[in-house]
A and B are shown apart, each in its own frame.
Chain A
Amino acid sequence: MTRYLLRRLGQSALTLVMVSIVVFAGVRAMPGDTARALAGEETTPEALDAIRRQYGLDQNIAVQYARYVENAVSGDLGTSARTGLPVTDGIFDALPVTLELAFLSLLLAVVVGIGAGVIAAVRRGRPAEWIANTVALLGLSVPNFWLGILLILAFAIAVPVFAASGFVPFGDDPLENLRRMVLPVVVLGSGLAAVVMRQTRAAMLESLSADYVRTARAKGLLPHQVVGGHALRNSLVTVVTVLGLQLGHLISGAVVTEQIFVLPGFGKLMIDAVFTRDYAMVQGVVLFTATGYILVNLAVDLLYSVIDPRIRLGGAQ
């Protein structure tokens, strides 16, 4: 366990370093004066000097990178050219919106996806499997931004049950918050649910034919104990892995969903920053997202070892 943990931590750290180099190099690679780019379009010579000092732009590239990492680690990602506020402020304002959206979508995907996957595997060859497979294939082929538009058309315009746009913090009005989150969560969660369903079904078909499931049946266990306690428990390892691999799609999906439903989250922050040429913000957001992504993947790997004792306890013999 400790060795696995250390190796995994080492890999993540290395990846983080490479990510920071890529982001650093990306900004340096921009045409023109980096200081001007970081400061935004309208700026004073004093402001430019301040930025040059802050990032050490007058020194060699290694020093610049060191300064950049030092700043980032101490939580200083620069100043937004658009708002004049620290980039971190913008990020932390947007974060709760995106986290709520992502969490609820993930919840939907896990509940619906695992449920449908188990049913499809247990009811193999019956209509239930066919329906689940078809819905999943559609879920994979319908792009979420189109699904978003259709849902707005159906449930916000034709039958106005849910709001199509805007965000109300959960703390201010929980019900209104959820009412506005329903459509975005369905949009973001459905594609993920389809992936989870397919993977769960495949893993369940495999574990249902395993010897230990036969043993469980020979013990006289009830069907739900055989399916849930034995087959699903083993399938979860694969499903969690897939969830980890899907996190990138979750982030990409969140960007679009926020754009469609005008949610002031991370994605919107990012897109707006690109179109207003707020380079400091783009740089900060990209670095923050990549870092978060690496950390979450690390967490998924650790979760993996909680589920599978063979990993936790140092491999099979």
Chain B
Amino acid sequence: MSTDAVHSGTARGPAGPGGPEDIPGTAPGRRRPGLLRRLRRNRLAFTGAVIAALFVLAALAAPLISPYDPARADFGSALAPPGWSHWLGTDDLGRDQLSRVIHGARASMQVGVLAVALAFLAGVPLGLIAGYYERFADPLVSRITDTLLAFPFLVLAVGLAAVLGPSLLNATVAIGVSLVPQVIRVTRAETLRLKHLDYVGAAVASGGGDGVVLVRHILPNAASALLVQATVGVPTAIIGEALLSFLGLGVQPPDPSLGVMLSSAQPYIAAAPWTAVFPGLAIVVATLAFNLFGDGLRDVLDPRGATR
């Protein structure tokens, strides 16, 4: 890692409260090119970023770029191996695998983004409060975190599915809730660190209320750490969605999802291995890409976290 990253990546000086739309901590003019350039220097992270971006684009443009309707069955060509008309072959109902993988990616991204958003909506305020009102709120928030942690992700998903019936929404909630403790932890740590800095003290001294200090001064400066956390949360959510859909607790057939595809491929893996290989490969490539991107982003934005 270059020393350059240390200097401009995490300089969170008094000058950097920043507007809500920019990632604070650096001079606004230098930030974007600097960040991108540093990311590009890390080849693995850059590759990860490109693949992740392609994955997101494919998910957004799924209806436009899919060669077939993902739901259209064609029993005449069921379990066809990969070939010119079906690049990734077809499944047991003769549906085009490529189109289903693309639409499955759409479901993955949908859950990934929504679950992370949910985790942030719940976790960031709790983390801010726990860190800022250390004395009385921290023990309380710790108990909430412990309680959440006591329900392993799948147990939580099972419980929710039992109460509300299995659905994509429940899967998203279960994944989101399971990401909350980590978001609380990171936000709390950042708040603890930032609240002792001089400029926060200055903001308090100049009459800024707690709300103003938290939202205007602490939150924007915690943004890099949170951005890294978000990037790390997405691949977790992608795997979580595939897992729950695989078990029948997430996306319900016939809707396409990478997990559903794997689950319905199980009886045919001996005769048509491609039905299980390609959806899984898509999951691996997507999570690997996001993980590499996240690692690189952490190196650039949060050098302290990189050594953890």
Contact = CB atoms under 8 A, between A and B. Distances in A.
A and B associate: yes
Interface of A: 11, 14-15, 18-19, 22-23, 26-27, 29-30, 137-138, 140-143, 145-146, 149-150, 152-153, 157, 202, 206, 247-249, 251-252, 255-256, 259-260, 267, 270-271, 273-275, 277, 279, 282, 285-286, 289-290, 293-294, 297
Given A146-B262, A153-B270, A279-B162, A141 B291 contact: yes
Interface centre among B149, B154, B277 (most CB of A within 10 A): B154
Interface string B239-280: 100110011110000000001001001100110010011011
Given A30-B163, A141-B284, A279-B162, A19 B243 contact: no
B273 A153 contact: yes
A22 B147 CA distance: 9
Interface of A is mostly: helix
B210 interface: no
A274 B151 CA distance: 16
A252 B153 contact: yes
A149 B161 contact: no
A259 B266 CA distance: 11
A152 B151 contact: no
A26 B143 contact: no
A145 B163 contact: no
Given A18-B143, A152-B269, A279-B162, A256 B150 contact: no
A146 B154 contact: no
A28 to B, nearest CB: 10
19 contacts: A11-B143, A14-B143, A30-B163, A137-B288, A138-B284, A138-B288, A141-B284, A143-B280, A145-B262, A149-B266, A149-B280, A150-B280, A153-B269, A157-B269, A251-B152, A252-B152, A255-B155, A271-B248, A294-B150
For chain B, the bracket of interface size reads: 35 or more
Interface centre among A18, A248, A251, A260 (most CB of B within 10 A): A248
The 8 closest A-B pairs by CB, nearest first: A146-B280, A252-B154, A248-B152, A141-B288, A251-B152, A282-B162, A18-B147, A15-B146
Contacts of B262: 145-146, 149
B208 interface: no
A251 to B, nearest CB: 4
A293 B155 CA distance: 11
Given A15-B147, A153-B270, A153-B276, A274 B152 contact: no
A206 B306 CA distance: 13
B97 interface: no
Given A137-B291, A141-B288, A275-B248, A270 B235 contact: no
Nearest to B281: A146
Contacts of B146: 11, 14-15, 18, 294
A152 B269 CA distance: 9
Contacts of B308: 202
B155 A149 contact: no
Contacts of B191: none
Given A15-B147, A256-B246, A274-B161, A143 B152 contact: no
A11 B140 CA distance: 11
B291 A290 contact: no
A194 B107 CA distance: 27
A293 B149 CA distance: 9
B266 A255 contact: no
A282 B166 CA distance: 14
B39 interface: no
B280 A251 contact: no
A255 B158 CA distance: 10
B81 interface: no
Contact of B150 (A141, A146, A252, A293): A293
B16 interface: no
B283 interface: yes
Given A15-B143, A19-B150, 13 more contacts: A11-B143, A22-B147, A27-B163, A141-B288, A142-B280, A248-B149, A255-B154, A256-B247, A259-B247, A274-B161, A286-B159, A290-B151, A294-B150
